[in-house]
Amino acid sequence: MPVRIGRNGARFKLDAFTYNCALAHAQHRLGDAAPAEFEQTSLWAALDYTLKNDPEGYVTRIIAMLPKQISFESSLHNMQDDEIDNLILQLKERAVEAKAPPLSPMLIESKVINGHDQDQA
């Protein structure tokens, strides 16, 4: 969805162009032709170069362009209070699990003779 320019001015037009180009690039399928409005631009070429040579940097730059505020209103609007509380509790549990140190693997010892457990021999 292209950005609409709310104010007049070169900076806002450049911002809208940059955002629309980066969005088109992020949604672009590899191997397909670039959209006509961006294919000969330096920005498209720079995004291509960055994607090929520094994919992590590419993702970092694309994410930096995303809106900083996300609205959960549509998702949470239809949920009951107890469902929202349960969701928050689940998120807290996941955060605690993610911070917990990894469990050491359990060692199971078994003596095997000729492919069979010793107790079965």
- Tokens encoding 86: 């349960």
Look up residue 3 and give its DSSP letter: P
Per-residue tens of pLDDT for the chain, all 121 residues = 454 545 556 667 778 888 899 999 999 888 899 999 999 999 999 999 999 999 999 998 888 887 776 665 666 777 888 888 888 888 888 887 777 776 655 555 455 555 555 555 4
CB-CB contact of 38 with 44 (8 Å) = yes
The confidence score (pLDDT) of residue 71 equals 61
In a domain, 61, yes or no: yes
What total of structural domains would you count in the chain? 1
**Cβ distance 59 to 41 under 8 Å?**
no
The reply to whether 87 falls in a domain is: no
Q: State the pLDDT at residue 47.
A: 93
Q: How far apart are CA 21 and CA 16, in angstroms?
A: 8
pTM (2 d.p.): 0.48
Question: How is the chain classified by DSSP, letter by letter?
Answer: -PPPP-S-SHHHHHHHHHHHHHHHHHHPPTTSPPPTTTTTSHHHHHHHHHHHH-HHHHHHHHHHHS-S----HHHHTTS-HHHHHHHHHHHHHHHHHHHSPPPPPPP----EETTEEGGG-
Report yes or no on 70 lying in a domain. no
Q: What pLDDT, on the 0 to 100 scale, is given for residue 119?
A: 54
Residue-number span of the structural domain to which 21 is assigned: 10-65
